[in-house]
Amino acid sequence: MRVFGFILAVFMLASCSKFRKIEKNPDWRVKFEASLNYYAKKDYYRASVLLEQIMPIIRGLPEAEKAMFTLAYCQYYQKLYLLASEQFKSFYETYGRSTLAEEARYMYAYSLYKSSPGPNLDQTESIEAMASMQEFLNRYPRSKYRDEALDVINTIQLRLEEKGFTNAKQYLKLRYYKAAIVALENFTKNFPDSRYVEEAHFLIMVSEYKLAEESIQARQKERYQEVVNDYLQFVDRYPESPFLKEAERYYTESLEKLGKLKNVNT
């Protein structure tokens, strides 16, 4: 075991020494060929270091196209997704007629997608990634990346739905009932085909009932009536809903409240 460790250490030292010599070599061609060799061996860090060194020198030369494209992938494979997205974007803006331009456009959008956070965090990057992927499909409707692009758009759509629904429910949890109603109604408009729409309609009814309970008497009749109206629409829209029994309870209690309010006012 010690012998193996010693051999490994010697190998690592020799490898580092070789890389340092290449770094110090004034000939950009040596660095270019070495970067491609490192890339082929999946040593993306060393490949990217050498490519970044020579990029300013070879700008305008035939090798620059391959160098820029390879550098973008080096950053992508190192999970530096925002850097990679910018590099892929620079590539297709610089080499718009390249045979690699289509792939670069796809990887620009895909790198943005990879950099975007989960549904609990800000979704600005997700929205940008989805827009970029849709723009890619508009430009290349028959691309070999079409199915992957559609999967990305669908995944982001589901993520945005989850984020929107979670935010709306949070208002209800915090007892901000007016805000909950607005957020849930906006959710049903923005995501009419979402798997959460049925529950969102139910929670609108819950929020309206809770709001009516906390309202002054002069506003209660109007707000309990909203619960009744929403229940009738809910039953018509979702006759087999798992929320139906609970929704009926809010409906029945709202009718009782309306009856008491009517007696008070007569």
Domain boundaries, the chain: 28-78, 89-163, 174-266
* Superfamily in which the 174-266 domain is placed by CATH: Tetratricopeptide repeat domain (1.25.40.10)
Report pLDDT for 263.
72
d(CA 224, CA 226): 5
CB 156 within 8 A of CB 176: no
For 227-238, letters b (16+ CB in 10 Å) and e give bbebbeebeeeb
- pLDDT tens per residue, range 204-241: 999 999 999 999 988 999 999 999 999 999 999 999 99
- Count other Cβ atoms within 10 Å, centred on residue 217: 9
Radius of gyration, alpha carbons of the chain: 30
Taking Cα atoms as reference points, which of 197, 173, 168, 194 lies closest to residue 183?
168
d(CA 74, CA 4): 30
d(CA 210, CA 230): 14
Spell out the residues 6+ positions from residue 231 whose beta carbon is closer than 8 angstroms to its own.
205, 247, 248, 250, 251, 254
Report pLDDT for 41.
96
Report pLDDT for 117.
72
Report pLDDT for 94.
96
d(CA 150, CA 128): 15
Enumerate residue ranges in the chain where pLDDT < 70: 1-16, 118-122, 264-266
Taking Cα atoms as reference points, which of 226, 201, 149, 212 lies closest to residue 177?
212
Name the DSSP letter for residue 61. S
Report pLDDT for 4.
44
d(CA 156, CA 166): 15
d(CA 43, CA 20): 15
Is the full-model pTM beyond 0.85? Answer: no
